[in-house]
């Protein structure tokens, strides 16, 4: 799978999604936010056109982006705490 560099529109969408999640952080616990977000990802996978994107490829996209999100979060924490 080739790596596609994110564009500004991708960053903007991510920020909007994060903003929505933050609005609910006082009424939903982190596990609930994760569960709802995961269901949305499942919906997006189910709605893919299998002639253009196979379920296996969709899952590969999800897995690689989860890994990238984890790397970015850890780097942010290290930067904020001065341990990185």
Take residue 5 and report the two structure tokens written for it.
């560099």
Q: What is d(CA 26, CA 17) in angstroms, rounded to the nearest whole number? A: 16
| Res 28: pLDDT | 98
Q: What is d(CA 45, CA 39) in angstroms, rounded to the nearest whole number? A: 10
Report pLDDT digits (tens) over 6-45. 899 999 999 999 999 999 999 999 999 999 999 999 999 9
| Res 4: pLDDT | 78
Average pLDDT over residues 67-75: 94
- Please report, rounded to a whole number, the percentage of residues in the chain having pLDDT higher than 70: 96
Spatial contact of 24 and 33, defined as CB atoms under 8 Å apart: yes
Residue 1 — very low, low, confident or very high, per pLDDT cuts 50/70/90? low
Spatial contact of 31 and 43, defined as CB atoms under 8 Å apart: no
State the pTM of this model.
0.80
């Amino acid at each position: 799978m080739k790596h596609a560099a994110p564009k500004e529109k991708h960053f903007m969408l991510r920020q909007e999604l994060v903003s929505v999640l933050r609005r609910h952080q006082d009424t939903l616990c982190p596990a609930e936010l994760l569960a709802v977000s995961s269901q949305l990802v499942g919906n997006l996978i189910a709605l893919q056109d299998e002639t253009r994107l196979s379920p296996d490829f969709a899952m590969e996209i999800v897995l690689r982006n989860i890994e990238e999100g984890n790397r970015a979060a850890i780097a942010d924490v290290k930067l904020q705490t001065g341990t990185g």
